Amino acid sequence: MDLLEKIKTIKQEIKDFNAPDNDQLESFRLKFISRKGIMSNLFDEFKRIPNNHKKAVGQALNDLKNDAQTRFQELASSLKSQEGSSKSSGIDLSLPPVQNTLGTVHPLTSVKLQIIEIFERIGFNVSEGPEIEDDWHNFTALNFPHNHPAREMQDTFFIEKPSKADDKSDDIALRTHTSSVQVRVMEQTDPPIRTLSPGRVFRNEAISARAHCIFHQVEGLYVDENVSFADLKQTLYYFAREMFGKDTKVRFRPSYFPFTEPSAELDITCLICHGEGCPICKYSGWVEIGGAGMVDPNVLSNCNIDPEKYTGFAFGMGIERITMLKYQIKDIRLFTENDIRFLKQFTSLY
Ligand code: DAH
C-alpha cells in the first residue's frame, strides 16, 4: 500500500476511535501519539520515499499528527465531563421517585379552625392573649374574690406566688382558662365586641384518659347594648347544629361561674347514641361541652365598660372535648402522643 493510502486509513481510524474509559484513552495515546506508536513508523517510511513525493506526503503526515492530537483532546475532555456528572449526582436516574409524604393538620387544629369558621360567619373575630398570665386577668377581674374557693376549683400552676392571704395581685401563673382573654379584649376595645379566643390552658391535674394538665379552650364573648340570654342560646344552638349536625339538641343546666350571672353548663345530645343512652354519655343521652352565661356586671366595670349601658354573654368550651365527641376519640392522651397511626386518620380534615 502506498504511504498516502496508509495515512488515509489511519486518519479514518483516528476519527472512529472511541474511548469509553481511561484505558481506551491510554491505548489511543500509545497507538497514535507516543514516540513508539504508529507515527514513528510512518516517519521512518517517509524518509524512504522519493523526493518529488515528499511535499505532499509530508503535508498529509503533519495533518495526521494534528488530527491525532485533536482527537486525543476531544476524547479526554468528554471522558472527564462524563465522570464529573456521574460523580456529582451519584443518582440512578432510572429509579422510580420516592413518594413525597406531606404532614397533616393536627385534629385539634382542624377543629379549632372549624369553630373559628362557624363563628366568623356570624361576625366574630379572633383574639389571643398570653399563656403566662397575671392574677388580675386570670382571676380578680373575672370576679374571683381573694380566698374564694372557686380559685381552688382550677388547680393552678403558679410561676410566682409572693402573695399574702388578702393580696394576690403579684401572682403570676399559667392561665387556667381562656376567659382571661375576655378581660384583655374588654380593657382594650369599646363595645360592640364579638370575639372568639382559642388557646392553650394549664391545670395541675392528674393525666388520665379523660383529663390532661395541658389542653385547649375556645372562649366566646359578645358585648353590646341589649344582649340577652336568648341571644346566647340562639348563638350556641347555631354553633351546635353547624359543628355536630342539624339534629343536635342543646341543653342548658344552671351552674355557677364567678364571672357570669346567670351561669349555665352546656350539654349537647350524645353523638354516639343520639340521646338513647350509652357508656359515653353515662346513659344520660347528654354530654357536656362547656360553660356559658351573661357577663357579670362586676366584670364589665372591672374592664371599664358601663354595665348600665351594656350587657354581654360569654361561653367557654373545651376543644379536646369537642374533638373527642365529634371523632369518637376515647383517650385525650392521643392528642399529645404524636403517634403517626393516630394522626394519619385525620388526613382529610383541613
Ligand atoms: N372558664 C370556664 C372554665 O374554664 C369556662 C367558661 C364558663 C367560660 C362560662 C365562660 C363562661 O366564658 O361564661 O371552666
Query: What residues does ligand 1 touch, defined as CB less than 6 Å away?
Result: 177, 179, 219, 257, 260, 291-293, 314-316
Task: Compute and round to an integer the Cα radius of gyration of the chain.
Answer: 42
pLDDT tens column, 99-108: 887 788 999 9
Q: Quick check: 20 pLDDT over 60?
A: yes
- Listed in sequence order, the residues at least 6 apart from 24 whose beta carbon sits closer than 8 Å to its beta carbon are 18, 75
Q: Quick check: 164 pLDDT over 80?
A: no
Say how many Å lie between the CA of residue 154 and the centre of ligand 1: 11
Closest ligand 1 atom to Cα of 221: 12
Backbone angles phi, psi at 199, to 5 degrees: 175, 175
Q: Quick check: 272 pLDDT over 90?
A: no
Mean pLDDT lowest for which of 8-22, 66-80, 125-139, 150-164? 150-164
Burial 142-179 (b: 16+ CB within 10 A, else e): bbbeeeeeebeebebeeeeeeeeeeebeebebbbbbbb
pLDDT tens column, 179-211: 999 999 999 999 999 999 999 999 998 999 888
221 burial type by CB count under 10 A (0-12 exposed, 13-18 middle, 19+ buried): buried
Contact 109, 218 (CB under 8 A): no
Q: How confident is the model at residue 280 (pLDDT cuts 50, 70, 90)?
A: confident
Closest ligand 1 atom to Cα of 290: 5
Rounded Cα distance between 48 and 66, Å, is: 22
Closest ligand 1 atom to Cα of 316: 8
Closest residue by CA, ligand 1 atom 12: 315
Give me the count of residues in the chain. Answer: 350
User: Between 316 and 279, whose confidence is greater?
Assistant: 316
**Pocket-testing residue among 315, 319, 320, 322, ligand 1, by greatest number of atoms within 8 A of Cβ:** 315
**Pocket-testing residue among 201, 205, 259, ligand 1, by greatest number of atoms within 8 A of Cβ:** 259
**Pocket-testing residue among 257, 265, 319, ligand 1, by greatest number of atoms within 8 A of Cβ:** 257
What pLDDT is recorded for position 88? 58
Say how many Å lie between the CA of residue 217 and the centre of ligand 1: 9
Which strands sit side by side in the sheet containing 311-318, from one edge to the other?
A: 125-126, 193-202, 214-224, 311-318, 286-295, 260-269, 250-257
Say how many Å lie between the CA of residue 271 and the centre of ligand 1: 23
Closest residue by CA, ligand 1 atom 7: 291
Print the SS3 string covering the chain: CCHHHHHHHHHHHHHHCCCCCHHHHHHHHHHHHCCCCHHHHHHHHHHHCCHHHHHHHHHHHHHHHHHHHHHHHHHHHHHHHHHHHHHHHCCCCCCCCCCCCCCCCCHHHHHHHHHHHHHHCCCCEECCCCCEEEHHHHCHHHCCCCCCHHHHHCCCCEEECCCECCECCCCEEECCCCHHHHHHHHHHCCCCEEEEEEEEEECCCCCCCCCCCEEEEEEEEEEECCCCHHHHHHHHHHHHHHHHCCCCCEEEEEEEECCEEEEEEEEEECCCCCCCCCCCCCCCCEEEEEEEEEECHHHHHHCCCCCCCCEEEEEEEEHHHHHHHHHCCCCCCHHHHCCHHHHHHHCCCC
Q: Across residues 107-135, what is the average pLDDT?
A: 97
Closest ligand 1 atom to Cα of 179: 1
Q: How confident is the model at residue 82 (pLDDT cuts 50, 70, 90)?
A: confident
Q: Across residues 162-175, what is the average pLDDT?
A: 79
pLDDT exceeding 70 applies to what percent of the chain?
A: 95
Rounded Cα distance between 343 and 69, Å, is: 66
Closest residue by CA, ligand 1 atom 5: 316
**Pocket-testing residue among 179, 222, 296, ligand 1, by greatest number of atoms within 8 A of Cβ:** 179
What pLDDT is recorded for position 107? 95
Closest residue by CA, ligand 1 atom 2: 316
Closest ligand 1 atom to Cα of 201: 4
Closest ligand 1 atom to Cα of 178: 1
Say how many Å lie between the CA of residue 321 and the centre of ligand 1: 14
C-alpha cell at 76: 479526554
